[in-house]
Amino acid sequence: MTDLLKKAFDAASRLPENEQDAVAEWLFAELAAEEEWEERLASTQGALSVLAREASEGHQRGKTEELNPGSL
C-alpha cells in the first residue's frame, strides 16, 4: 500500500462511522467502474485494430490531410 493511500485511510478512519461507510461505498463504486471500463476497452481491441489499419492504409495512399486545430 502506498503512503498516500495509507494517509487517506487514516484520515477516513477519523470520520464518523456513517461517513466511513459512505467513503467505502464510493471507493468500491470507483473500483468497479474502473474494472468495467478496462473490460469494455479490452473487448474493443479487434475493432480498434481494424480502424488503425484502415487509417494507416488511407494515410499511405495519400487520402489523409493534416489536421488544423484552429478550424475545428
pLDDT single digits (tens) 29-66: 999 999 998 888 888 988 989 999 999 999 999 999 98
Domain ranges of the chain: 3-60
Q: Is 90 exceeded by the pLDDT of residue 15? A: yes
**What is the greatest pairwise CA distance in the chain?**
64
Q: What is the pLDDT of residue 57?
A: 95
How large is the average pLDDT for residues 11-15?
A: 97
Give the burial string for 5-39 (b: 16+ CB within 10 Å, else e).
eeeeeeeeeeeeeeeeeeeeeeeeeeeeeeeeeee
User: What is the model's pTM?
Assistant: 0.53
Q: Specify whether the CB–CB gap between 32 and 39 falls below 8 A.
A: no
Q: What is the pLDDT of residue 55?
A: 94
